[in-house]
Structure 1
Amino acid sequence: MTRPARRALAAAVLSALASLPALARPADPPPHDVDAALRAIVDGTPLAGARAGILVADVATGKVLYARDADVLLNPASNVKLFTSAAALARLGPEYRFATEFLVDPGQAAAPSPKTLYVRGRGDPSIVTERLWGITGDLEHLGLERVGEIVVDDSFFDGERTGPGFDQEGGDNAYLAPTGALSLNFNTIAVHVGPGDRKGLRGKVELEPACDHFDVENRTTTVAANARRRVTISTMRVNGRQKIVVEGRLPLGSRPQASWRKIEDPALYFGSALKRLLELRGVKVGKVRAGAAPQGARLVYVSESEALAEIVRKLNKTSNNFTAEQILETLGAEAKGAPGSWPKGVSAVEDFLADAGIPRGAYVMKNGSGLNDTNRFSARQVVTLLRHMYARFPLQAEYLASLPVAGRDGTIRWRMEGTEAAGRLRAKTGTLENVTSLSGYVETAGHETLAFAVLVNDYPGRAAGVVRAVDAIGGALAASGGPAAGLGAAVALAKAPAPAVPAAAPSALTETVKTYYALGRAGDPRNIPFLQTALRSETDPALRLAIGECIYLSDTDADSAKRAFLEALSPDSQVLGRLWAAAAGESPAPVVSSLGDLAAEGSPDALARLVELAPASALDGRLAMAISDALAGVAASAPEELVQALRGAPGPAVEAAIGALGAGLARSEEPDHPFPAVLRAMGAKQGELAAFARALLPRIEEGEKAGTATRTAPSLVPASSTNVPARAH
């Protein structure tokens, strides 16, 4: 969409919003100082029921402006990266560069055909396929024509690939990638999966980069265009190679999508990709094996990374776990002697922190990224570190520049936008299950610089309310020293938007919804800032739901866009009913299709929201059909996950979902829908989930028969009087 078109749409939205009735919500008196504002935010949000350590101090003087349990040791999640990156900048220097060395045997010529080409890594976390292609070009220009074998040497690190805390969860997700002195593409492989040319064919699976280190087993099937997509990718080590198994259902005509998975053997992965790229340049290459470069091997080429300051900037902006652990092990090797290891790296960080005024034994640090339940720091220790780095002029600029900027970039690009903090708060995020943190620096309205740390563990409810409260703290800090209204706006931000009273007139709602969906269906991520601003200011839950979906439609691959959509969903079926009535001409119809796509991927939050919305089937026949079809599609793509969502949902939602699912199965185009077979297999096992599946099966079958016989919209009346065990709430 062109910029003039976006401006025209924005003007239309503002015009539509101007026609909405004024809200009658009385404003609370604004707090008079930052301490009062922060107390109001903490006491009035889920932070009050959480374990939260908070400290705010003047960065220059150390004067404390606000404190709450500031000395309690908590899990800081990715705020640990603040410590790792600070120690690396201080001990290695901002100009430090990682080197990857290419060598040949003593006395042997580098070209045209060395018997052995040794590649010795020194922990570079930044080599990607594009850079490796450039390296092979340089080697070719040196006259290389044939290589007997490539020997990959990763002895700069010890043999431990998985850091402390990484073993607390299984799977092959990219954020669990192993470390290696010789690494490529953050030690992940991209798996591109798309549908075949016609229904029933295998899908298309391609790897990037393609190399002979991997074996691919393609078990995908191309299904009808209106079916739900579901792809699962698993990896395993088989006979020294990595096997990648791709299973799933791919709707005909859908766009290919890429997923990233961790690799198992970093050095051999690097060597295999190097061999492949050399061969593409016409260089003949023999086998690839692991080994060590001999004493006296002759250096023929070296590739150096960008300066550490730039690598740290990318680390903290994106919160990359792999880069943090690579830096930690490199720090250990450089400070304590090769090979690098986690204990040596942590010891080097402890030396640095002791100099910064944080004594050994006062905290627990086991890895460099903050992954899982492994580390413990207090808010006061985080602020002590931040003040120490701010006072070190040679490091201050690089350290501050590495932190994400509120409303501008990095992991807080879409947070605090439109508040006083936007552009003036730099902070590192941290997110784990039941953990959220935000620590950094903020310039106040009074032109003072504050250092702050907010570490939250074990909070009640969903993450959205806690994140909103933490962002409100950032807004209050930025507004301090200015008019009281700024602090009042920050306190108001901490509260969930109240429903509009009265609701927008149907005609105004229809026009506004139409305008927003024109933006969302453009699929242009550049519209997201505008939509995020609209989402923050809108109070009508039906419009919030539309805007949330439009954010998702603008960038369906972005996790932040998915979260915005799911958090905008209301369990009140009337909200969806109003939106459907207002968007009668939209195609595809609102919400249900997008929610079905996310649920079909196995997202627990999306599955829970889809089941919660099932009672809306009683409001409208078209809506009932859409919900039943979505549930049937999810039952084919993510059947076990759907059973778990049904078991965990409130009773009325379960009853409505069972009825809708039965009707959807009756209308399904699949001749043998897999869901009943999955229920039988689950029911054959032991445990509460198996008992639930056994009780669910006859109800689904009866609902399917009823739907086949009547072809009517699903009913809220239970399909059978059979008791289905429900989880307590």
Structure 2
Amino acid sequence: MVVPELRAWRAARPHVVRVARTVKPHVARITQAVRPPSVRLTTPQVTAIAATVGLALAAGAVAAAGPWDSTGQRTAERDWAASQEGEGGADHGRRSDTSQKPAQPQPAPSAASVLARVGGSASAVPAPAEKALADVLDPLLDKAAVLGARRTAVVVDVATGKRLYGKGADEVQIPASTTKIATAVAALSATGPEHRIKTRTVLEPDTKEVVLVGGGDPTLTAEKDADGWASLHTLADRTATALKDRHMDRVTLSYDTSLYAGPALHPIGVNDNIAQVTSLMVDEGRSDDSTGGPAARVPDPAADAARQFADLLHDRGIKTTNPGPSKATNRAEALASVSSAPLSALVERMLTNSDNDIAEALARQVALASGEQPSFEGDAKAMHAQLKKLGLPLSGTNFADGSGLNRADRLSADLLTALLAKAGDPAHPELRPVLTGLPVAGFTGTLSTRYSDDPAATGVVRAKTGTLTGVNTLAGTVVNADGRLLAFAFLASDEADPPNTVEARAALDHAATALAACGCR
């Protein structure tokens, strides 16, 4: 960004933010209105709306990251992707025929302000001075009564990787859901952004038994409108066709969850925040049609998925037995399969919604790709090894799960900012979904209702939240007042005397806002 552009941006920014706050509710309604597949915003329309609401940050007009719709896709990004030439884009491929290799996915349209100036291209924009940054952040973070007894923080310049601010940088703490940043980096690094998780059916040649084989895709849906995610309806269509081609209309049905090892129940026990971690489930084992936040879960997600699949086969003229557990043999014939959206899309959805079920599934994928046992213990070993390959600071780190629900997790602010900086490294484009999937302050995911009192941060702060009793964390990126991309991590905890969660969250939000507003030179 040249100096005249920088001056213009700094002068216009307060007005842009005020407009954004005014029209935000209308944009949400517009986005919801375009949810039906038959109605789509054109790229110019999306761009115009984005510019209107003030997400044209740091690098001119930028298409907005609209809210996730009920299926888990960001509508504005989906519309933008549909207008692009070829497959790929933020939608990451919506075709039902997955036999063709998709094109390399492009960054989400909301990524421009985040990805601007990464990789050292911000040389024309000075980085904040360390002392000036400390003068701003120290008073905001030195609040034991609000944040708790333990507080650590790091700010890193993404372009250079240089640490600009450190407060207990190397100390490990309970990270809560910011653990998902590490899970995302490990998964993308281990499998690649184009990796897809397959759910399939096979036919045992001797017993004529149809086996529904789980591959570990928690986004497999039984909703009629799958909207780009793997569909149980499609799998039933294909399986029924394959059986009828074999002149079969009555079969024994079973299901195979042998891909995973170890206990399926998360160490926190039965909980509305996560289903059993099994390689076969539909709609994350939810007992209702909700797609985000806590919800009652079915006792056995795999059995529930198999029962729903049996009903769908029956609707297609195939009668089945009541399904029970089994294991497909290596002699079984392939009948049909469906594949998940690419891993890049799963990572974005996990981070934006803080989705625990996807997080644990991605941790299992790291273990499978690394040759470790796909269990909580094996996942932890695989994630640690994968991040070690990337040269990340892991001293004292402990992974107990992939979601951050386990209080035995331990990460440092230094590691969290290093993960974010690595995601912006030009040498690792496969990690870019870690940045594009972060919730946007005041607009998307777990930050959609935060920053109401911090208008300067609206659309500028992008961060993963983390909350457990006595633990409040925030880690992400911000384009500061001078257009410099910074990565930050704030961790606060006090298990003995838990602080007020609302007050602690507000304090962390204010620190991120101060970082966004500060040139600090």
TM-score interval (norm. to shorter): 0.5 to 0.7
Equivalent in 100, 114, 136 of residue 236 of structure 2: 136
Partners of 1:314 and 1:94 lie apart in 2 by 13
Partners of 1:259 and 1:450 lie apart in 2 by 32
Partners of 1:127 and 1:44 lie apart in 2 by 44
- Structure that is richer in helix per residue: 1
Aligned position for 2:355: 320
Q: Report 1:515-534 matches (<5 A).
A: none
Partners of 2:329 and 2:378 lie apart in 1 by 25
Aligned position for 2:140: 41
Aligned position for 1:467: 505
Partners of 2:288 and 2:371 lie apart in 1 by 35
Partners of 1:49 and 1:156 lie apart in 2 by 42
Aligned position for 1:454: 490
Deviation at 1:308, TM superposition (A): 0.3
Aligned position for 1:412: 447
Aligned position for 2:397: 363
TM-score relative to the length of structure 1? 0.49
1:278 counterpart = 2:278: no
Matched residue SS, 2:202: strand
Deviation at 1:314, TM superposition (A): 0.5
Q: Report 1:184-583 matches (<5 A).
A: 184-190=282-288, 260-336=295-371, 340-358=374-392, 362-391=396-425, 392-417=427-452, 418-458=454-494, 461-481=499-519
Partners of 2:359 and 2:146 lie apart in 1 by 29
User: Do the aligned partners of 1:404 and 1:413 also contact (CA within 8 Å) in 2?
Assistant: yes
Deviation at 1:46, TM superposition (A): 3.6
Matched residue SS, 2:311: helix
Q: Which runs of 5+ in 1 are unaligned?
A: 8-31, 109-113, 193-207, 209-257, 485-729
Matched residue SS, 1:176: coil
Q: Whose Rg is larger?
A: 1
Change (3 A) 1:342 1:147: farther
Aligned residue type for 1:51: R
Aligned position for 2:76: none
Deviation at 1:395, TM superposition (A): 2.2
Structure with more contact order per residue of length (Cα contacts < 8 Å, sep ≥ 6): 2
Equivalent in 177, 181, 198 of residue 279 of structure 2: 181
User: Do the aligned partners of 2:194 and 2:343 also contact (CA within 8 Å) in 1?
Assistant: yes
Partners of 1:406 and 1:103 lie apart in 2 by 45
Change (3 A) 1:403 1:378: same
Partners of 2:147 and 2:322 lie apart in 1 by 61
Change (3 A) 1:421 1:45: farther
Change (3 A) 1:48 1:287: closer
1:222-244: CA deviation from partner (whole Å, max 9, x where unpaired):
xxxxxxxxxxxxxxxxxxxxxxx
Partners of 1:361 and 1:382 lie apart in 2 by 12
Deviation at 1:259, TM superposition (A): 8.4
Partners of 1:259 and 1:140 lie apart in 2 by 34
Partners of 1:446 and 1:369 lie apart in 2 by 34
1:65 counterpart = 2:168: no
Matched residue SS, 1:67: strand
Partners of 2:352 and 2:289 lie apart in 1 by 25
User: Do the aligned partners of 1:157 and 1:333 also contact (CA within 8 Å) in 2?
Assistant: no
1:93 counterpart = 2:196: no
User: Do the aligned partners of 2:235 and 2:337 also contact (CA within 8 Å) in 1?
Assistant: no
Deviation at 1:390, TM superposition (A): 1.6
Deviation at 1:360, TM superposition (A): 5.4
Deviation at 1:45, TM superposition (A): 7.2
Aligned position for 1:605: none
1:506-551: CA deviation from partner (whole Å, max 9, x where unpaired):
xxxxxxxxxxxxxxxxxxxxxxxxxxxxxxxxxxxxxxxxxxxxxx
Deviation at 1:324, TM superposition (A): 0.8
Change (3 A) 1:49 1:98: closer
Change (3 A) 1:191 1:390: closer
Change (3 A) 1:466 1:449: same
Matched residue SS, 1:189: coil
Q: Which runs of 5+ in 2 are unaligned?
A: 1-21, 27-130, 224-230
User: Do the aligned partners of 1:46 and 1:465 also contact (CA within 8 Å) in 2?
Assistant: no
Partners of 1:460 and 1:102 lie apart in 2 by 49
1:111-149: CA deviation from partner (whole Å, max 9, x where unpaired):
xxx931111111112112122123222333445362321
Partners of 2:192 and 2:354 lie apart in 1 by 20
Change (3 A) 1:46 1:100: same
Change (3 A) 1:341 1:60: same
Aligned position for 1:75: 174
Deviation at 1:379, TM superposition (A): 0.9
Aligned position for 1:161: 264
User: Do the aligned partners of 1:357 and 1:384 also contact (CA within 8 Å) in 2?
Assistant: no
Q: How many residues of Structure 1 are paired with residues of Structure 2 in the alignment?
A: 380
Q: CA RMSD in A?
A: 2.7
User: Do the aligned partners of 1:405 and 1:423 also contact (CA within 8 Å) in 2?
Assistant: yes
Q: Percent identity?
A: 30
Change (3 A) 1:190 1:39: same
Equivalent in 123, 127, 135 of residue 220 of structure 2: 127
Partners of 1:67 and 1:438 lie apart in 2 by 15
User: Do the aligned partners of 1:188 and 1:262 also contact (CA within 8 Å) in 2?
Assistant: yes
User: Do the aligned partners of 1:190 and 1:259 also contact (CA within 8 Å) in 2?
Assistant: no
User: Do the aligned partners of 1:333 and 1:341 also contact (CA within 8 Å) in 2?
Assistant: no
Partners of 1:295 and 1:282 lie apart in 2 by 28
Partners of 1:480 and 1:362 lie apart in 2 by 32
Deviation at 1:284, TM superposition (A): 1.4
Partners of 1:191 and 1:79 lie apart in 2 by 26
Matched residue SS, 1:52: strand
Deviation at 1:59, TM superposition (A): 1.5
1:186-220: CA deviation from partner (whole Å, max 9, x where unpaired):
1222299xxxxxxxxxxxxxxx9xxxxxxxxxxxx
Deviation at 1:464, TM superposition (A): 1.7
Deviation at 1:460, TM superposition (A): 5.4
Aligned residue type for 1:183: M
Partners of 1:46 and 1:466 lie apart in 2 by 9
Deviation at 1:401, TM superposition (A): 0.9
1:23-45: CA deviation from partner (whole Å, max 9, x where unpaired):
xxxxxxxxx94322212222467
Partners of 1:53 and 1:259 lie apart in 2 by 29
Aligned residue type for 2:258: S
